[in-house]
Structure formats: C-alpha cells, structure tokens
Structure 1
Amino acid sequence: MFRNSLLAGAASVLVASAAPAIAQGQDLTAPEYPETRAGDVVDTQFGVDVADPYRWLENDVRVDEDVADWVERQNAVTNAFLAQLPGREALKERITQLTDYERFGLPTSKGGHYFYTRNDGLQNQSVLYVRDGLDGEPRELIDPNEWADDGATALADYAITDDGSKLLYAIQDGGSDWRTVKVMDVATGAVLEDTVEWVKFSNLDWAKDGSGFYYSRFPATGEGETFQALNTNQQVYFHKLGTEQGEDRLIYETPDQPELNHTAQVSDDGRWLVVTSSSGTDERYEINLIDLERPEAEPLLLVPGFDHDYTFVGNLGQKFFFTTNDGAPLMKVVSIDIAAPQQGWTTVIPEREETLGGVSLVGRKLIASYLVDAKSKIEVFGLDGTPQGEVALPGIGSAGGFGGDPDETETFYSFSSYNRPTTVYRYDVASGESTVWAQPEVAFDPDDFVVEQKFYTSKDGTRVPMFLVRSREVAESGEAAPTLLYGYGGFNVSLTPGFSPSRLAWIEAGGAYAVANIRGGGEYGKAWHDAGRLDNKQNVFDDFIAAGEYLIDQGITPEDGLAIQGGSNGGLLVGAVANQRPDLFAAGNAAVGVMDMLRFNQFTAGRYWVDDYGYPDREEDFRTLLAYSPYHNVRDGEDYPALLVTTADTDDRVVPGHSFKYTAALQAADLGERPQLIRIETRAGHGSGKPTDKAIEEASDILAFLAAFTGLDLSE
C-alpha cells in the first residue's frame, strides 16, 4: 500500500557533443573525500560474517553531532565539485524557464463549489482555490507558501464536506511523511481549533453529515525517534468537530497484530466505513465494513485472509463494487450484495489482456483505466459491465482522475506525456464529451519532440518495453546522443509517461531520455511484479542492464554516453547495476535509495518492504539480499561510473543512513578516477512536498553532473 518513487530531471541547447567532458578543460577527476571513520561492527548471520563499518552513520543527523559533521563535510566537497561543472548555470536557467508555467490540479466538486490547486509557475508550493460554480471567480483558500520562509512546508492532502462548507487539510513539513491535520471554514477562511497529530499513511474522509472525520494515526514516538522509529500499531479514529484530539473515538485497531495498517473510507451513501487493512506493500488486503448507523455492531468481515487485492470503488445502496486480482492477475471489477454476502461475488467487468489500473463509479457508470504497454486507455461501462465506449486521449501518455460520486454527471481527468504538461479536462458522463478545463501555455513546442516506444529483449528472453524521447532533430538525424536511462522496478509501480521540465531541458540540449518498464513494476499485472521481487529480484537488474545494452547496440547512445537514474527502490537499482556492470555506464544518480538490504526493515516504513525484498532474518532471503545489496557489494579495484548519491535529512521513508553508508563504502574503495559524491538536501524528505526552488537546484546539479561524464554539451 505504501510505495516509493521519485522523479528528477535537466538542460538547454541544440546538439550533443560526443567528446568527453574532460576535454573541455575541467578537472572532473575524483576530489579528495572527507575522512570517514570506520568502525569494527561485524554481524554473523547464518554462518556469514557481515562487516558494517559505517553503522554509526545510521544515527539521526538531527541528533548525532558526528553524523551532522560528516554531512557538512561531504556537502562542502560535493558543492565545490558541482559549482565548477560546465553549463550548470545555463541548465538551471533553462529548467527555470520550462518550469515557469501555470499548473492546475484536478478540481473536486462539492455542494456547487469547485476546489483545486494552482501554481503560477515558480511558486514553491501550489495554492488551494475555490470557485462558486464551475465558472465562478477563483478565491484563495490556502497558500502554503506563507507557512515557512524556506517554502518547505506543503499542503499534502485535503477533503471537503458534501455541502462544501468545511475543508479538512493535511500539512507536511520538511518533506516528512508525518502529517498535521486541520479544519477550515470555507465561507470565511477561518481555521478552526481542531488539530490532529501523528497522522501518517492515512486516508482522510468526512462523515456524511459533516460532524467530524475519520483518519489513521500511529502512537506518538519517543523523543529523538520521530524520523527513525518503526511504524506499528496504526489505528483508525473519528474526530468530532469542536473537540480535542484526546477525545477522539477509536474506531478500529488490531493490537494483537501491530504490524497491520488500517485506512478508512466512508461509503458513497455514508452508511458504512470501509476499513482496508494491509501488512506490507503488497496489494493483499482484508476488508471490514463498519455500520455507522449501528456503531455497537461487530464489523462485517467482507474480505478475509490478506490473499488478494480488493480495492473499494463505490456503492449504490447494498451493492458494493471492488477491483480485484482474485482469479484475475490483470484485475477485474466485481460486486457484492452486502445484505447477503454469503451469495458471493459477481464479476462485472472480466479480466482482459490489458492491465486494469483503476475504476471510478461516477454518473452511474464505471470508468476504467487500462494500461496498454504502460500507456493509458480509458473505457466506460454500464453498471452491469456493458461497454459504452472509450474516452479519446490525445496520444501516448497518462490519464488520471475521474473522481466523483455515483450520481454526479461530471468528472475531471488529466492527461500528460513526456512532451506535454498536464492538461485538465472536464468529462460529461452522460454525453461522453470531453472539454478542456485548464491547459498550460509553455515555453516550447511539443511537436519539436518525438515520443516513441521501443521493445528490447532481456537476458532470459523476456520482452521489455521502453519509452524513448528525443528532439525531432536528434531522432531524425540518426546520430547517437548522450542518454539518461531511468528505472524503478518494484512494488507493482508502473512507470507511465509524464512531463518533467528538467528532463525536457536535457533533451533540448541534444540528449535522449529513456524509461525502461522493467519487471517488478505493475505494467503487466501481478505476474510482471512477481517476476521482479524476492528471489526474482535479479531480473530487475538484468532488465535494466539489457536496456542500456540495447541503447548502445542500436546506436541511440554512444558507448561512453549512458547515464542512469532512479529513486528510492530505483536508487537501489542504480546502486546494484553500478556494482554489477560498472563498465556499461558513464555516470549515475542514485536518489534516496535503499542501499543496505540487510537492515532496511529496522527503520520507519522499511518493515513494509519485506513483501518485495524478503526478510533479512530468514536464511534464503538473507543470501538473496546479500548478493545484490549495494552497500555490501562495492567492487574494489574496478573502474566505476561517476556517481552522485542524493538524499535528504528529513527523509523518514528511506532514512538517509542508507545513502550515507553506501557513499562511505564507495569512497573507501579504489574505483578509478571518476568521483563518487553525495548531495544531502536539508529540510527535505523522500520527494513529496519539495519546494520548486529546491527541486530546480537539485535537478540542475544532478543533470549537470551526468552531462559532464556523458559528453552532453550544455554550453550555449
């Protein structure tokens, strides 16, 4: 249920140079690294002695002075190196220009009011607005840019009462996963005294009468443990407006199973609370229904067992709709009559050849989003599953949204691609007509860029898709171009087309951008995910390595011109393939990565990841993990690509100690002349909520670094 992902980007100009960047007169050899103390910690597991000399770097940088000093010294060296990179300032200027366009979030309609976010271009955080009526005058409700001088406090989520009178919103500070929840009166803009803390990985949903809201929280942590302690014993509460959090009513918990997480959603008719429980990142859920009209009644266990993915779509009276992979690895839509659950499930939309990504119940129709080779396709069905047509999309891209209530006649959706920023459409459910609601004006011509899909063969013969984006000039020339290859490969996460100003700048400069849809993701359903996790994890690395080989073999990129990038689980990917094939890549960026595969489950959300990685304390899993763990497999004496590790001090999803230890191991080894550096952001987390200015600075640093070692010329 809790997934990891991150994107980044970068550059400007016309044509790429194949000449090595060092020929430009820059000293790009590895600088003198700060000294890192090596300890004598050795763990013996299953007869194997595992050295962990940098365990002390796991300590919280906000608490441990030695770690804070190490971070300061590392940043000083890295910043000095990045400052002398050729073309960095021109790159930053172009990324800023490409970022400076008006952006809108999807509207939510409640009580005749339309709520949406808008960013005027370079605001650090998007602002929440409301309109009275579809074409009403916008009125500002929340400007998070006023919350912190550094812009690092974000509006993370919000929910509105059915009558549109009250706004429930979550505040995220410094990129942390923790949320503080508050309530606003929409008419006056007054913030009420209601405040809820210790909220994380939670849905937020109002009672239908607006008397209060449901949320999930963890127990308060001890002093100094907020950003590292394991997250256990999540509980669902109801907060009644006008009361203190200490008076909130406990709705659901499983104290005998502290590893379970619980999120709650109010049914469309307001009668039921749908509680979804999970134990990890796998989509294996247990579903309980709580009768809100009879709070004394025992919960109705609708889906037992944690065996399958059952995701609530909506309900019409006693008829509840879910998507599931039970007997359908590519997903299907089912319904059940909760007045007679013993009669079982009825298939509404059967499994198809395409992967079903999600379904909405709006206007008494089912709107289904399919993935066709990682591209969006939207189809509409009647409540009985009868096909009623397709929502036409502008091309290769990603569509999302289609939220609303069963009786509403309108919904909104977004569409974006690698060369097209998000456009928001209004969709009339009855007529099937789409109209543009908000379309950005951008500082480039989308038709100047070519988006293609390629297929290549992995080590074991598996056919893997890849998106490839180049300027039309580069694509039509047929010449090899420095290429940035991005991947993730885990947790059933599908990489679908999306817009990034920084990646577009890289392409404008004459580079190519490729996204490999490797196994471990969800592009082709459960089987694709299963083929890239646990003892199949090596397939992920093989797929990514094969993607790099394909780009070189096809003449898309020169042999010394391939850079790689990935974040979170994708950071693990970069670290693992750099160890396994250091000869293949010129440079890499491992962002907020999971780097110590023997201790990932010791911190914050790490315990959930055993579904994808396995249990370090089980011998079979231990041996699999040790074989590819980036921290434990740095190959001394090999010529490595230039590596820039990036993380942040407030990342409480993948704690920064992973990146700290991995970097220390890299710098302690003899890896050739190219540098292995770490860039540590302050007042930032795993990626969400990052201010625009920090995002631009980080993207400029990363892509200027990758360009310098792949031969991409950023000079004007």
Structure 2
Amino acid sequence: MRVLTHFLLASVMTAPMTISPAQAAPADATIAYPRTEAQPLVEEQFGVKVADPYRWLENDVREDARVRDWVTAQNKVTDAYLATLPARATFARRLTELFNYERVSPPVKRGGRYFYARNDGLQNQAVLNVRDRVDGPARVLIDPNGWAKDGATALAEWRPSDDGRYLVYAVQDGGTDWRTVRVLDVETGKDLPDSVEWVKFSNLDWAKDGSGFFYSRFPQPASGGKFQALNENQQVYFHRLGTPQSEDRLVYRTPDRPRLNHIAEVSDDGKWLIITSSEGTDDRYEITLVDLSRPDAQPRTLIKGLEHSWNYVGNQGSRFLWTTNKGAPRLKIVALDIAEANPVARDIVPEDKATLGGASVIGGVLIASYLVDAKTEVRRYRPDGTLIGKVALPGIGTAAGFGGKADDPETFFAFTSFATPTTVFRYDARSDTAQVWAQPRLTFKPEDFKVEQRFFASKDGTQVPMFIVRRKDVTGPAPTLMYGYGGFNISNTPAFSAGRLAWIEQGGAFALVNLRGGGEYGKAWHDAGRLLNKQNVFDDFIAAGEYLIREGVTGKGQLAIQGGSNGGLLVGAVTNQRPDLFAAALPAVGVMDMLRFDRFTAGRYWVDDYGYPSKEADFRNLLTYSPYHNVRSGTDYPAVLVTTADTDDRVVPGHSFKYVSALQAAAIGPRPHLIRIETRAGHGAGKPTDKIIAETADQWAFIARWTGLTVR
C-alpha cells in the first residue's frame, strides 16, 4: 500500500528527484471538474525536488479574485452533484427534527446569580441566560441570533465578574479565531462602551474587585494578513472598565521569545495572576506569577523550562494545587508552597492507572475527573489527598463541569453518551448528592440503540479501543461511518451527536476509534502517535477498518471514514495508503500540506505533534504521509467529499484547495472527488445550526450513496 512512498524515500538518499502531488490525468468521465491551473513550481529541500503546482490556491479568498472564482466554480460542480442524491432531502428533514431539542450548558455561579448558555433547538446560536436564584425564572442576557442575517456571528468566551455585576464576553464573526471583547451590565442588560480588539486564543478573567479584566492579544496584523499571518508576540493586558483599549496596562510579554503564548487567570483568592506560557500544542508550560496586591510587582517565574504540564487547580494562601505530568505520564495532583524560595512539588493524589483529566476544589472537597478506557470516572478526595469515594454518574459516558468556589459546595456537571443528549446535574460536593437541573425532551428512544466498546490489535500489536454504536436490530454487516482524530493529546470520549444519530437511525453503524496520539492513556499514548511515530495513528485507523470488516460489523465496500482538522489529515493520509479499504471519505478542514503547515496563522504551534518541515528528519517523515504529496495515480480511490470554509484561520482553506486539486488531476478512478466550501464559516466553532444541518445532510447523503445505505 505504501510502495510508491517507500520507493521515493529510498531514492532520494542518493539523488535528487521531483516529488509531485499528482500526475496529470484526464478529467473524471462523469463529472467535469473545474479547470485548475497547475504551475511549474518546484523547490528543492534536502536534495528532494518537491513540486507545488497549486500553491497559488493558498492565497486568501477575500484578497485574490482568481481563488474566489475557483471556489465558486468548485461549489457549483459539488452542488450539482449533491442535488442528484435523493437521500439529501431525507437526511436534512430528519436532522432538523433531531437537532430540535433543548441544549443547556452547566451554569456558572457568581454573586448568587447563575449564568448559562441555552439553545431551544434550532436557534443558529446559543443564547446566554441568567437566573437570580438556582430555580428562578430565566432572563436573556445576550442573544447573538440577531447579530448577523446569516446567523454566523456567535457569542464565544464569556465570564461574569466575581460579584455577578458585569459580564465580559467575546464576539466571533464568521467563524474566525479573532475576537472582539465587550462588557455587559448584568442588571440592565446593556453594553458598556468598553471594547477590546485583536484578541485570539485568550482566557478572560476578572480582577477580584471587578474593576477590570485580564486578557491576551496579538499585535494588529499588517493589512491583508488578518487571516493568514503567523500568530506571534502574544501579550497579557489588563483592561480597566470605562477606559479605551489604548490605555490598557501591559502586564506580561516576552519579546525575546516571540513564539510563546500567554494565558492569564486570577487565583481563587484574587491575590495572584497566574500566567501559563507555552510555545506549541504540547503540554509543556512555564508558570509565571504576578502579585496583584502590589502595583509595582515584577513577574516571578515559578516553573521554568517548558518541560511538563502544569494546570492550576486552586490555592489556599501560599499553598497552590496543580495537576502535572512531571514524573507521572498519566498525571497527578501536587501542591507547591509559593512562599518558599524554591518550591518543591509534593504529591497530594499520586499517579493512577487511569488518566487524570482535571481537578477542582469545591466546598472543601477535591474533585478529580479520570478517563478509564476513554470513559469518565469522577473521584472525591479530602484536601490531604485521602480518597472519599466516587461520584455516581448516570451511566457509561462523559461528564464535564465541576467548576465553582472552594468554599461553596454547590457545583454543576453535564453528562452525555452516544444515545444520551447532555443532561445538566446540580451537585453538592459535601453531601455527594446530585439532582437533574436541565434535561431535554427527546424525539427518539435511547433504548433502541446499542453501544459496545471493543479492543483490537493494531499493526504492531498495540491494543486500541473503539466504540461501536448501532440500532439494536442491526446485527449483520451494515454501512459504517468510522471516525478518528489521533493527535494533540485530545481524547475522544462518548458523546451525543444528533448528526450521527440520523445516520444510525437509518441502519448504519458508527465507530469511534481511540487512536494513539490522543490523550486517552496519558503522555505515552500521545507520544506513540506524534512526530516520528505519526504512522502509528494511520496504522491504528487502518487496523480498525480491517477489524470492522473481519468481525462482520461492516462489509467490503461499506466503510466510510471521517475526521476533521488533524482528523482531516488522518483521513487524507489513510485514503492514500489504503484506498482499497474505504468506500468513501470525508476529510474536513484538514491539514493536507505537511511541508508548509507551519507558515500560516496557528500552524506554527503544531510542530509539537508534526515536527519541523525545516529539519531534515522531520521533513522526510512528513513527506511520507502528507496527503497533498502522496496522491497515487493509477489506483482507484474511494469517493471523497472534502469540506472546508472560507474564513477558517486555524487550518487555512488552502490546504483543502490544494489537496482536492491534486485528487481531481490524478487518475484515481471514476468515483467523485469533490470539495464543499462553506462561506462565512471557520474551523467549526460558532457555525450556525442551519449550516451544520445542511453540511451534515450533504455528507451523509454522499457516503450513503457510496456505502450502499438504503435511506428510508
């Protein structure tokens, strides 16, 4: 399956040769793809001549008319093809019904008020509500659904002040990662004149007295570089209410280390600003403290070296609790006394066989959330680390939340599973009692579906877990959608998806694979799927597909695959390596050019997982699996529907534009190889509900056609 790639790598050791994304071929016999100009651009790196004929498609669609025309032409062809699929309307109708249920976030309690987001079902954006008591009537604070005619302007991050008087919130327009930050008076529901720009990848946290808030921002990019320029020189500022941004106080910066990011949060007692600095996506942080009680206080670096993860849990005076992977690949909870000149970490809750996800102190109880084979388990400890017991959960699934105050036992958590939409529980940490606070009414019966967890052997023998979800009456081989991510220490856990349920209801199966590269089993699991080990992720996914066919869950010609972002890379890579295994592929907002990913916006952060294209060993490894550079002419490919968006400034759409151009230019069989490009949307966050429904209906109709799913 990888003979061509291996041949190229072996050859470049002795002589330079040209690596081309695809060989020219006649257009598909049934689909007239738009003509895409292939330019004679070839660059040599480490003795390898790499062709990049479609680099011009990296240009910003808002700035380059040729790229804009190309997008229009591609969408026209894709829309015409999708219009021929009869299942499209059926899926759109059922998805609309399934999405029409109440979705509520766990509330944040401040000053006796309860702040939470709610979507009544088909609203394009969630609405921020507040209650003045836990069981009181709700009042709408912010409804972003009127902010834009297309519903594509969203409420992003938000945080109430400690006394519940003010709310700082961020506005996300058209899916971009950039934020505009504003402040609301909670009592009147009216905005203050305060406004902050050029905020991205930032926490928002209030000073204890409510006089203002801390945030992180980048310098204003040069004209035309807003959606493509590298993000460097992030700085922490304090904005005092009632003043213009030009007067904001610079709190922390590292001009000699422009690649560092800085996230600021205020300690539980309000006396310290905790700045967590990182250079990439790996969990390796430096921790800096600023004494907020002294206006002239200089930043004090508490943890140096970017060697381990350190996540603040809480503090009592100078005793700070952290989760860390220092000496604990599956993490542990430790205490540092910052009053000491050289604080030494002391174990509070040692490393366990389960993977520690996070911790909080609520009402004097230390609550820790673990992953046990990718399923949530929540444990309770005394402040000294003595185990009290476990929090009873409604079943096997995913629980999240447990935020609040160290002296207040009231907290909230959300629980979900594959057939269980999110339910919010009110929990008393001292009495260990929970009651339902918000639960949606359903238009389906969860008991009609079966969830299994299985383990299979990957290529090297590693046991990898996978969840399989089907209707209970579906027992034989069925058209199956297999999803994976496998990167950046991100864990995939059981969660409800109205979109996936629409596929499963029709008799299809769904499989979620917990690939190496994720965080399900701690640092070792992550390390086993990144850098020079990245091929393990692809081997795991391929082995999962082979297992599903071998075990009769699905049949040959019935398997579709899906992944987004790093998962889009996964889908692109395995499609090149094993095109015979899959009937259809859905790579979304994928990282497809592994030799240039670090040149745009947030791409520079990803070197922690992918390596540096400028370093020879990494370059040669990246070249073995880069989806754009390894399209294999002369081999029949599955049907491919690429999805991206014009305002994606996380993984710039040029990745997908170049990749689909390589597919369309190659002799890879008669199945369609199309791209669907959303307008006024980004990497995923903030996408309106109607656009999610329309895109999902297109994807399911596409893979139903090529896996043989009979849609009722």
**TM-score in terms of structure 2 length:** 0.96
Distance 1:657 1:343 in 2: 47
Distance 1:341 1:30 in 2: 73
Aligned to 2:695: 698
Asked if 1:641 is matched to 2:638, the reply is: yes
Contact 2:285–2:306 under 8 Å retained in 1: yes
> 564, 572, 593: which one pairs with 1:567?
564
Q: Which runs of structure 2 are paired with 1:57-68 in the superposition (5 Å)?
A: 57-68=57-68
Instruction: Give the SS at the match of 2:328.
Output: coil
Aligned to 1:542: 539
Asked if 1:459 is matched to 2:459, the reply is: yes
Contact 2:264–2:275 under 8 Å retained in 1: yes
Contact 2:590–2:651 under 8 Å retained in 1: yes
Aligned to 1:377: 377
Distance 2:300 2:511 in 1: 47
Structure 1 position 295, deviation (Å): 3.1
> 594, 599, 604: which one pairs with 1:607?
604
Asked if 1:134 is matched to 2:144, the reply is: no
Cα deviation, 1:30-57, whole Å, max 9, x if unaligned, reads 5110000001111100000000000000
Q: Which runs of structure 2 are paired with 1:280-359 in the superposition (5 Å)?
A: 280-359=280-359
What amino acid does structure 1 have at the position aligned with 2:268?
A: D
Distance 2:473 2:686 in 1: 35
Structure 1 position 342, deviation (Å): 2.1
Aligned to 1:256: 256
Q: CA RMSD in A?
A: 0.8
Aligned to 2:528: 531
Moved over 6 A (4+): none
Which deviates further from its counterpart, 455-464 or 289-298?
289-298
Aligned to 1:190: 190
What amino acid does structure 1 have at the position aligned with 2:418?
A: Y
Distance 2:500 2:377 in 1: 24
Task: With a CA cutoff of 8 Å and minimum separation of 6, indicate the structure with the bigger relative contact order.
Answer: 1
Contact 1:321–1:335 under 8 Å retained in 2: yes
Asked if 1:576 is matched to 2:573, the reply is: yes
**TM-score in terms of structure 1 length:** 0.95
Asked if 1:440 is matched to 2:437, the reply is: no
Instruction: Give the SS at the match of 2:305.
Output: coil
Cα deviation, 1:627-648, whole Å, max 9, x if unaligned, reads 1000000000100000000000
**C-alpha distance 205-29 of structure 1, shift in aligned 2 (>3 A):** farther
Cα deviation, 1:146-165, whole Å, max 9, x if unaligned, reads 10010000000110111100
Unaligned runs of 5+ in 2: 1-27
Cα deviation, 1:405-431, whole Å, max 9, x if unaligned, reads 111110000000110100000000110
Distance 1:502 1:243 in 2: 45
Q: State the aligned residue count.
A: 685
Distance 1:446 1:687 in 2: 27
Asked if 1:666 is matched to 2:663, the reply is: yes
Distance 2:383 2:156 in 1: 33
Asked if 1:520 is matched to 2:517, the reply is: yes
Aligned to 2:93: 93
Distance 2:595 2:372 in 1: 36
Structure 1 position 29, deviation (Å): 7.2
Aligned to 2:6: none
What amino acid does structure 2 have at the position aligned with 1:688?
A: A
Distance 2:276 2:114 in 1: 28
What amino acid does structure 2 have at the position aligned with 1:342?
A: N
What amino acid does structure 2 have at the position aligned with 1:161?
A: S
Structure 1 position 252, deviation (Å): 0.2
Contact 2:365–2:430 under 8 Å retained in 1: no
Q: Which runs of structure 2 are paired with 1:383-532 in the superposition (5 Å)?
A: 383-474=383-474, 478-532=475-529
Cα deviation, 1:321-370, whole Å, max 9, x if unaligned, reads 00000000000000111111524111000000000011111111111010
Distance 2:99 2:480 in 1: 22
Structure 1 position 302, deviation (Å): 1.1
Distance 1:713 1:576 in 2: 29
Cα deviation, 1:55-83, whole Å, max 9, x if unaligned, reads 00000001100000000000000000001
What amino acid does structure 1 have at the position aligned with 2:166?
A: K
What amino acid does structure 1 have at the position aligned with 2:293?
A: E
Distance 2:177 2:256 in 1: 25
Distance 1:253 1:405 in 2: 30
Distance 2:528 2:383 in 1: 34
Instruction: Give the SS at the match of 2:702.
Output: helix
Unaligned runs of 5+ in 1: 1-27
Structure 1 position 297, deviation (Å): 2.5
**C-alpha distance 343-281 of structure 1, shift in aligned 2 (>3 A):** closer
Q: Which runs of structure 2 are paired with 1:586-625 in the superposition (5 Å)?
A: 586-625=583-622
Aligned to 1:689: 686
Aligned to 1:215: 215
Aligned to 1:84: 84
What amino acid does structure 1 have at the position aligned with 2:186?
A: V
Aligned to 1:277: 277
Distance 1:408 1:203 in 2: 23
Instruction: Report % sequence identity.
Output: 66
Aligned to 1:47: 47
What amino acid does structure 2 have at the position aligned with 1:599?
A: R
What amino acid does structure 2 have at the position aligned with 1:605?
A: A
Distance 1:404 1:341 in 2: 30
What amino acid does structure 2 have at the position aligned with 1:380?
A: R
**C-alpha distance 601-93 of structure 1, shift in aligned 2 (>3 A):** same
Which deviates further from its counterpart, 333-342 or 405-414?
333-342
Structure 1 position 86, deviation (Å): 2.4
Distance 1:46 1:283 in 2: 30
Distance 1:360 1:93 in 2: 42
